[in-house]
Amino acid sequence: MTRHTQVEVLLSERIINLPFGSQVHEEEHPDGHGLSDQITTDDVETCEVALLGGSGRKVPVAAVDCSNVHLGFGGGFSYEAARASIVTRSAAGDTHVTRIGPLVAKLPTDSVLSQGYILYALESFAQELAFDQVREGIVLLDGIALADGALHQVSSRAKVVGLSKTVPPQGVHGNGFGFPSEPFVMTKRHSNLCLVRLSRGGFVLRGRVWSRRSTDMPSVFSSLSASDASDMGYPDTLRLAHMFSKILPTEAISARIAITEKHGVRLSEPLDGRKLLLGSMWA
Amino acid sequence: MFYLLSRFGEDYEVLELPAGRSHVGDFLALKDGNDDRSLVLQVVHISYLKVPGELEEIIRMARASNVLMDSQSDELFEQIREEVMNSKVLRCKVRGSVMDSSFTGNALWAPSRMSATLVRTTLREIRRTVSEEQMIPFPVGVLLDDGSDLVIDLADLDGSLTLILGRKGAGKSTLAKSLIRGLAENGAKSVVLDINNEYMPSSKDSKFVQLDPGRNLTFELRLMPKAVFLSLLEDLMDLPQTSMLEISRVWDRLEASGRLSFGGLRKEIIFTKMNDYVKDALTRRLEVIANSGIITDSPARIGVVSELQRSGGRCLSIFLRGLPSMFKKLVIELVMKNIVQAMERGALEPIFLFAEEAHIYQGMSFWEDLVTRMRHLGVSLVFVTNEPNSLSNFIYRQADSTFLFNYSNDSDLGFLARVTQVDSESLTSFVRGLPELCCLAVGKVCSNLPVLFRVRQDEQFVGGGTKLFFRGRLAQPLKSSMPG
């Protein structure tokens, strides 16, 4: 289904002009198709396992994350805030953070544009920015549910790595299901999905690699291990990107006040149906 | 801007958004809608507003300090976020209310939460609504809230019991000296029991007289009441009862024959038939007293009472430093006896007595007795001490005004919270963080409003400052111990 809807982006003056600033095509945004071939722990014995050596090439890394929060309703519109952050780490180890937002989307309440629409738009914008910043390195994304098509316009030669925070079962002491205890990557033939352990003792993560050119996953992850610190197997840049993009309650309060002061709209908090129906204890 | 958050008991919580420069001790007027009445609140505690996600925000700020940050966000949003994070909750106590433009200590009503407005006010503005007129205005210091002069009425010290408390070096003596100078300049008479010999004016001023026991402060034995002399021997010099009986008989005989003198006492003891041990005990004690030079056969060089009878303001500082404790006690006893007798005869106008570390030279019963009788006698008492529990609960209960300098010790603060006129939360909050020379005044002297001020330093007095070794050394170039 496609129709045109007016979407206004607030608190964005002199920051960015998002592509959906005037009119957007309403369509369902990607929600993770192409994941039917995910690796599960049942596949362990049929996959190729490669240990990650300590000789990965140091390359620049950029991590992108985005978060959103529903601010409330006012004047027949729904208001949703989103913020993106791009954390780049040079091969020399210098870290730079770019934060964009929070931007607030003013959406008609009768629109099928769901919560998260601005998140998707902003995330796409931030990813492009990251590709520009790291042309030869690795771009890290939060999650693996990105459509392959979403990256087809990327002219960058960067390798794109998606890592999911939804970790697969780790087994006893993180060493069950036949996973090696050393850093490794486990791939399935003809698939860009994998299971990966980036550091010794770290969690096994679900991963995905996109690249314009064919690439071998072990060298990408070896390079990532060498270029970015990790805590419990999760890359530090991605952790920082999440930290700096998250819209905290203080900021949601501030955004509501700013909307009221700038646009004269007093926002009422969204109703929490679960809380109303079940009570705060069981919601 | 201030917003009323909540009320519980006599406490109000006020949100200050955006956070201003509120300090503990500041006053706020809580106006009740359109009514001509307002509550007077005083800030006793300042905390940050608890906002959800504050911990995460602080952790994020800590991480941000280690990286290069480029934040592209709306200016107004950033300004509001900063204001929300910095907003403060002021915990306030009700100090009274202003109704029909007149201040009263009562506040038996609560304002409307919806229509109440909060504005900053100052002690000066509140005091304009206090109907009392000041008889002897005296600028004692500078208010910490707005930097204006704190003008007290010296008449509020008259007939009153005042306490000046604080740990050493906090500024107690500075305040006492300022008050003494103010009193002297306004024609009042003061006596200072000066244990550090520090109440000395820097330049000669006839209003200030130093009395040094044994030098220019002596007492003629002939004029001394027998009871005082015997109590010196018994209480201070532990003279046994048998010897007390003998000396009492000797005293009576000499007094009756008009031969009462040191020489007469010595001769009488030597030539009277009595036990040798008694003779020895009496002779040795008389020697000690005679050697002190405090009690003599000669007429007193300066009479305490006659000095106080002179016209105009006057301050007698009785130097007690270096005196053995029994002579300190003796001197105080004799001075006070003379003063009290003269007052009872109506020969002396009311005086102000400043007693520094009073517990050192007299027992509490002596002071409690004086406090009980002070109004009838015409003695206005000012106790100055760094040991708050050296004064009895009775004295604290009778105090009309208290000046509290810095205390940081929990047990001192706990004790003071139990005995002074100010609630424990205010006291702890105000007093613990007071810098040098700043103090909290409570009671009559400041219209029963707790007030924080910086004491005005009096240039007229020289002694009493803390002597420091290193500060003096740093003024001179230090010889380097490094070779070469």
Q: Tell me if A250 and B72 make a contact (CB, 8 A cut-off).
A: no
Residue B315 shares a structural domain with residue B174: yes
Residue A64 C-alpha, separation from nearest chain B C-alpha, in angstroms? 14
Name the residue facing B73 among A15, A94, A262 (closest C-beta). Answer: A15
pLDDT given at position A32: 38
Name the residue facing A243 among B54, B60, B71 (closest C-beta). Answer: B60
Name the residue facing B60 among A100, A244, A258 (closest C-beta). Answer: A244
Residue B400 shares a structural domain with residue B452: yes
Radius of gyration of chain B (CA): 29
- Residues of chain B positioned with their CB less than 8 A from the CB of A243: 59-60, 63
pLDDT given at position A275: 79
Name the residue facing A248 among B57, B64, B73 (closest C-beta). Answer: B57
Residue B279 shares a structural domain with residue B326: no
pLDDT given at position B358: 87
Radius of gyration of chain A (CA): 20
Provide the 8-state DSSP code for B234: I
How far apart are the C-alpha atoms of A93 and A107, rounded to whole Å?
A: 41
How far apart are the C-alpha atoms of B61 and A97, rounded to whole Å?
A: 12
| Any domain includes B205 | yes
**Proportion of chain B above pLDDT 70, given as a percent:** 94
Q: Write the secondary structure of B422-482 as one string of H (helix), E (strand) and C (coil).
A: CCHHHHHHHHHCCCCCEEEEEEHHHCCCCEEEEECCCCCECCCCCCCHHHHHHCCCCCCCC
Q: Is the pLDDT of residue A20 over 90?
A: no
Q: Is the pLDDT of residue A29 over 50?
A: no
Q: Is the pLDDT of residue A33 over 70?
A: no
How far apart are the C-alpha atoms of B211 and B197, rounded to whole Å?
A: 10
Q: Domain boundary residue among B280, B296, B312? A: B296
pLDDT in tens, A41-76: 555 556 788 888 777 888 999 999 999 998 988 888
**Can you count the helices (H) and strands (E) in chain A?**
5, 14
Q: Is the pLDDT of residue B299 over 90?
A: no
Q: Domain boundary residue among B128, B159, B178? A: B128
Q: Tell me if B73 and A99 make a contact (CB, 8 A cut-off).
A: yes
Residue A12 C-alpha, separation from nearest chain B C-alpha, in angstroms? 6
Kindly state whether A133 is in contact with chain B, defined as any CB-CB distance less than 8 angstroms: no
Q: Which helix (H) or strand (E) holds B149?
A: strand B149-153
The number of C-alpha atoms within 13 Å of B316 and in the hemisphere containing its C-beta is 24
Residue B428 shares a structural domain with residue B462: yes
pLDDT given at position A274: 82
Residue B241 shares a structural domain with residue B105: no
Structural tokens at position B360: 């050192």
Q: Is the pLDDT of residue B28 over 50?
A: yes
Other CB atoms within 10 A of residue A93 CB: 10
Name the residue facing A243 among B53, B63, B66 (closest C-beta). Answer: B63
Name the residue facing B51 among A16, A243, A250 (closest C-beta). Answer: A250
Provide the 8-state DSSP code for A43: G
Q: What is the band of B187 on the pLDDT scale with cuts at 50, 70, 90? A: very high
**Proportion of chain A above pLDDT 70, given as a percent:** 73
* CA-based max dimension of chain B: 108
| Any domain includes B80 | no
Contact A52, A225 (CB under 8 A): yes
B375 or A216, higher pLDDT: B375
Residue A156 C-alpha, separation from nearest chain B C-alpha, in angstroms? 23
Q: Is the pLDDT of residue B337 over 90?
A: no
- Residues of chain B positioned with their CB less than 8 A from the CB of A258: 74, 76-77, 80
Residue B429 shares a structural domain with residue B320: yes
Among B54, B61, B65, B72, the residue to mutate for chain A (most A Cβ within 10 A): B72
Q: Is the pLDDT of residue B321 over 80?
A: yes
A163 or A2, higher pLDDT: A163
Q: Report the predicted TM-score, pTM, of the whole model to 2 decimal places.
A: 0.75
- Residues of chain B positioned with their CB less than 8 A from the CB of A267: none
What are B15's strand-pairing partners?
B3, B89
> Which of B174, B209, B166 lies closest to B190 in space, CA to CA?
B209
Supply the mean pLDDT for chain A.
78
**Proportion of chain B above pLDDT 90, given as a percent:** 31
Q: Is the pLDDT of residue A36 over 50?
A: no
Q: Is the pLDDT of residue B189 over 80?
A: yes
Phi and psi based region of residue A54 (left: phi greater than 0; alpha: psi -120 to 50; beta: remaining): alpha
pLDDT given at position A109: 77
Name the residue facing B52 among A246, A249, A258 (closest C-beta). Answer: A249
Instruction: Give the CA-trace dihedral at B282, B288, B290, B293, to 10 degrees.
Output: -160
Q: Write the secondary structure of A103-132 as one string of H (helix), E (strand) and C (coil).
A: EEEEEECCCCCCCCHHHHHHHHHHHHHHHH
Contact B173, B384 (CB under 8 A): yes
A5 or B209, higher pLDDT: B209
Contact A81, A107 (CB under 8 A): no
Contact A223, A211 (CB under 8 A): no
Strands B88-99, B37-48: pairing is antiparallel
Q: What is the band of B163 on the pLDDT scale with cuts at 50, 70, 90? A: very high
Q: What is the band of A18 on the pLDDT scale with cuts at 50, 70, 90? A: low
Residue B201 C-alpha, separation from nearest chain A C-alpha, in angstroms? 60
Please name each of the domains of chain A with its CATH number. Answer: 31-68+82-102+113-255 (3.30.2170)
pLDDT in tens, B448-459: 889 999 998 876
pLDDT given at position A22: 37
Q: Is the pLDDT of residue B482 over 50?
A: no
Range of the domain at B372: 138-217+301-471
Among B48, B68, B76, B77, the residue to mutate for chain A (most A Cβ within 10 A): B77
Q: Which of A70-74, A82-86, B322-326 has the highest mean pLDDT?
A: A82-86
Name the residue facing A13 among B52, B70, B74 (closest C-beta). Answer: B74
Using CB atoms within 10 Å of the CB of residue B163, give its burial: 0 to 12 exposed, 13 to 18 middle, 19+ buried. buried
How far apart are the C-alpha atoms of A166 and A70, rounded to whole Å?
A: 23
Residue B156 shares a structural domain with residue B211: yes
Q: 71-90 in B: which are within 8 Å (CB) of A? A: 71-74, 76-77, 80-81, 84-85
pLDDT given at position A2: 45
pLDDT given at position A217: 82
B350 or B224, higher pLDDT: B350
Q: Domain boundary residue among B296, B317, B344? A: B296
Q: How many domains would you assign to chain B?
A: 3
Residue B45 shares a structural domain with residue B97: yes
| Any domain includes B59 | no
| Any domain includes B335 | yes
Residue B96 shares a structural domain with residue B179: no
Contact A265, A75 (CB under 8 A): yes
Q: Tell me if A99 and B69 make a contact (CB, 8 A cut-off).
A: yes
| Any domain includes B114 | yes
- Residues of chain B positioned with their CB less than 8 A from the CB of A257: 80, 84
- Residues of chain B positioned with their CB less than 8 A from the CB of A100: 72-73
Supply the mean pLDDT for chain B.
86
Kindly state whether B241 is in contact with chain A, defined as any CB-CB distance less than 8 angstroms: no
How far apart are the C-alpha atoms of A66 and A137, rounded to whole Å?
A: 21
**Proportion of chain A above pLDDT 90, given as a percent:** 19
How far apart are the C-alpha atoms of A124 and A109, rounded to whole Å?
A: 24
Residue B30 C-alpha, separation from nearest chain A C-alpha, in angstroms? 25
How far apart are the C-alpha atoms of B189 and B201, rounded to whole Å?
A: 16
Q: Taking the CA atoms of B392, B396, B399 and B402 in sequence, report the sign of the dihedral they define.
A: positive
Q: Tell me if A15 and B60 make a contact (CB, 8 A cut-off).
A: no
pLDDT given at position B462: 58
pLDDT given at position B182: 92
Strands B27-31, A77-89: pairing is unpaired
| Any domain includes B123 | yes
For residue A242, the chain B residue with the least C-alpha distance is B60
Contact B18, B87 (CB under 8 A): yes
pLDDT given at position B156: 92
Q: Is the pLDDT of residue B380 over 90?
A: yes
